Amino acid sequence: MRLALGSDHAGYDLKTFLARALREAGHVVVDLGTNDATHSVDYPDFGAAVGREVVSGRVDLGVALCGTGIGIAMAANKIAGVRAAVVHDVTSARLAREHNHANVLCLGGRLLGTEVALDAVTTWLASEPAGGRHLGRIEKLARLDERLDEEKGIA
């Protein structure tokens, strides 16, 4: 699988760990930065970059990290077509993929240990979007993106 990873300075160490583990598992990792933990950078830049890679189709899925996962998820979700979810464990990761069809997984580098984060990402990647009652909700999310484009005159 082809994956985009991006983080701010607070998520850098966990992103580096995950990138290495995902490559070792056979995934292609596109690292969108940042490139160190010492220089403060803005999470919206990296959340948007991951989101754009996913919706463009250049990658299959994305993983975005900041201190809590919250800010970078907000940024990624500003990109139409992104369904970014902040997760804290394997259960929230699995449900984010199955129920919400999350295409960007967001993690907090200051909140999660490496093993919990890797387990969450691995579970998310192994999960499949569920159909059934969840499809109507996903379609409603897509219509919200379309409505925003119409309001901006992009349609």
Asked if 106 is an active-site residue, the reply is: no
Question: Cα angle at 29 between 27 and 33, to 5 degrees?
Answer: 160
Asked if 99 is an active-site residue, the reply is: yes
Distance between CA 116 and CA 112 in Å, rounded? 6
Which is catalytic among the residues 9, 27, 66, 101? 66
Which is catalytic among the residues 9, 27, 88, 99? 99
Where helices occur in the chain by DSSP H, the ranges are: 12-24, 43-56, 70-76, 90-98, 114-126, 133-152
Beta bridge partners of 143: none
Catalytic residues: 66, 99
